[in-house]
A and B are shown apart, each in its own frame.
Chain A
Amino acid sequence: MPPDYFVGVCASFADQKLWRAATLAAQDSGQAIEAYGPVADEATMRLLRPHSPQNPVRLWTLLGGMFGGFAAFAMTIWMSRDWPLVVGGKPIVSWPPFICICFEMTVLFASFACMGSFLAYARLPQLTLPAAYRPEFAVDHFGLFIACAPPEAERWQQQLTAEGAQQVWRIENQPRGRLALPTF
């Protein structure tokens, strides 16, 4: 096994609490980590990522919504003036009904921006899965990957085992799959 390919160690936990504690300990040591699990719950996220970088999804959603709303106003006003059809004696630019279009377009573009920013921030779609990922992490196990240099691997393997990991193994960047290194 060429040593150049070594990227870190990965541990599999059956117990969520042990996994949380090990993840916190690894985070506190300043090591680059990635954690996997079958459940996406807010309590765990708050615990494990209390100082996560500003999540851009909210901002992009707001910007998308604002763009949609202004674009809808511009569209309705311009089109009404370009084809000045008088209906029921109402003004050509009848803004009250136009608000409905604006609302819908605001929500539509906010949703598009929300989805787009989520995909960009989560780096999806991915054609290959990280080498540290195992199918059991989607079912009933919790994974913790720690990026480290080969000399540190032994120490991390021992620590993770002591922290209650069921299984700990070394991760090589196999040519068949690309390891998406975590960057926090």
Chain B
Amino acid sequence: MPLRSEIEPARFTLREVSDEILRPVEAPPSMRYLLGLAFSLLCVAIGVAAWGRQLYIGMGVSGVAWPVMWAMYITCFVFWIGIAHSGTLISAILYLFRAKFRPSFSRASEAMTIFAIATAGLFPILHLGRAWRFYWVFPYPNERRIWVNFRSPLVLDIFAISTYLTVSLIFWYLGMVPDFAELRDRALGWRRTLYGVLSLGWVGSLRQKAPFLKLYILLAGLATPLVLSVHTMVSWDFALSLLPGWHEEIFPPYFVAGAIFSGLAMVLTLVIPLRHFFHFEKHITMDHLEALAKLIILTSSIVAYSYASEYFTAWYSGDTYERTAYFLRAFGHYWKPFWLMSVCNVLVPLLFFFRRVRRSLVGLLVVSILINVGMFLERLVIIVTTLAYSFDPGSWGLWHLTWVEAGIVIGSFGWFMTLFLLFVQFAPSLPMAEVKRDVLEAKDMVATLSAAHLLSEETVHAA
């Protein structure tokens, strides 16, 4: 028998789908939306002011100081890259597996990916004292006649992240072209011109659809290993060093699982308000949200295993420095973020074993926010504790948060939210063409099953 979620879309007509999904784009922005946008822009202004001060005075105003030369900025970089991971992964992998709940999350999660990379990419630049020389990391012909060091994971990062951004952008934009075409046909004035350009003249003919379907599956296939490669290379920024707490083989899968875990949580954090404010309850059902919660249980257990494995490896190695590093991670100066991280990432997701929590919007939202907090702290703990307590106790030193760093972190969240809010106002938040395909498939399925008397009268009537 089919799942309820498979035949549920049969209740809608195709026009209803268009009207409901395009309503937020076509209607003028609400006061709540404008207040949210104003708040996000205020956060961006705080970040810009903090960065301006750092540029004017120098890196000393940030908390970056020997021996903790990577602190909040690289924490944010890894956090946002992690958030970016789930978007394309959800969209591409669920497309390859033909998951029925994919359309509910794919568009928002792809947008989340783009905006999270755009946010993450700022941090290595912010971390540079002379930010205007960021282009030195690219291999370009220059008067100094030197090239970049291709053995460095930092250079691998540049290639991986810029490729990931480009491929995700192509995947996201081309997936929206059929929806932009519908918007073009409905819009007037400057919006008609805007969507006319964005839709590229798409008319949904067989000539266009045949290569489109091929393109989409190929891009999904290309994006999937790319997702895994990017966070693997980010993890090598740490694992290829020799420092205790960083030099570990488990880092690539550990980072990838953590990235998917945090990304899934962020998708929930974004989609639940989206569903509520734009009235997408019919298309983003509790079954869909529950499916995401189940995925979070899986990734949380991988992350929990990785934490345990790290400690076991440190103990089993018998290496004094390794053991000390992990002991101080849990009981040193930074014990609070460590234990908070452990609770948020290991214990809190266990609440999703309870069906009542999985099917409660408040429960889903609270748990997803706590996971985001936990994953942010995880990156902070990994980066700061290792640098603060490296080999020689004589070279130990602590890092303290400064207001400039805090301002820039607030600014990054504001920047991300601003981009996301602009996206939901100017582009369809759900892939209309795919939702319509599900509607037609559901109608076909209901017709077939009811002809074979496999569906109850009520179900057929409701559909």
Closest to B200 in A: A125
A137–B433 alpha-carbon span in the complex (Å)? 12
Shortest Cβ distance from residue B6 to the other chain A in the assembled complex, whole angstroms: 15
Residue A34 is within 8 A (CB to CB) of chain B in the complex: yes
Are A49 and B204 closer than 8 Å at their CB atoms?
no
Given contact pairs A36-B203, A58-B218, A105-B159, A118 touches B186 in the complex (Cβ within 8 A): no
Residue A108 is within 8 A (CB to CB) of chain B in the complex: yes
Shortest Cβ distance from residue A34 to the other chain B in the assembled complex, whole angstroms: 5
Closest to A94 in B: B151
Are B433 and A49 closer than 8 Å at their CB atoms?
no
Shortest Cβ distance from residue B336 to the other chain A in the assembled complex, whole angstroms: 36
Residue A90 is within 8 A (CB to CB) of chain B in the complex: yes
Shortest Cβ distance from residue B92 to the other chain A in the assembled complex, whole angstroms: 12
Are A126 and B212 closer than 8 Å at their CB atoms?
no
Could you say which residues of chain A place their CB within 8 Å of the CB of B149?
85, 87
A80–B155 alpha-carbon span in the complex (Å)? 13
Residue B283 is within 8 A (CB to CB) of chain A in the complex: no
Are A40 and B209 closer than 8 Å at their CB atoms?
yes
Residue B14 is within 8 A (CB to CB) of chain A in the complex: yes
Could you say which residues of chain A place their CB within 8 Å of the CB of B70?
none
Interface residues of B in 376-431 (CB under 8 A from A): none
Closest to B443 in A: A16
Residue B190 is within 8 A (CB to CB) of chain A in the complex: no
Residue B13 is within 8 A (CB to CB) of chain A in the complex: yes
Are A140 and B18 closer than 8 Å at their CB atoms?
yes
Shortest Cβ distance from residue A77 to the other chain B in the assembled complex, whole angstroms: 9
Residue B269 is within 8 A (CB to CB) of chain A in the complex: no
Residue B441 is within 8 A (CB to CB) of chain A in the complex: yes
Could you say which residues of chain B place their CB within 8 Å of the CB of A88?
151
Are A36 and B204 closer than 8 Å at their CB atoms?
yes
Interface residues of A in 79-121 (CB under 8 A from B): 79-80, 82-83, 85, 87-88, 90, 94, 97-98, 100-101, 103-105, 107-108, 110-112, 114-115, 117-119, 121
Could you say which residues of chain B place their CB within 8 Å of the CB of A97?
150-151, 156
Shortest Cβ distance from residue B68 to the other chain A in the assembled complex, whole angstroms: 24
The residue from A94, A100, A117, A122 contacting B208, defined by CB atoms under 8 A apart: A122
Are B210 and A100 closer than 8 Å at their CB atoms?
no
Closest 5 interchain pairs by CB? A126-B201, A135-B185, A140-B14, A125-B200, A79-B147
Given contacts A37-B204, A40-B204, 16 further A-B contacts (CB under 8 A): A38-B14, A40-B178, A83-B147, A98-B150, A100-B160, A110-B222, A114-B218, A115-B215, A118-B215, A119-B200, A122-B212, A129-B203, A137-B203, A138-B181, A138-B204, A140-B15
| 7 pairs of residues in contact across A and B, judged by CB atoms under 8 Å | A38-B432, A45-B213, A82-B145, A103-B225, A105-B163, A108-B167, A124-B202
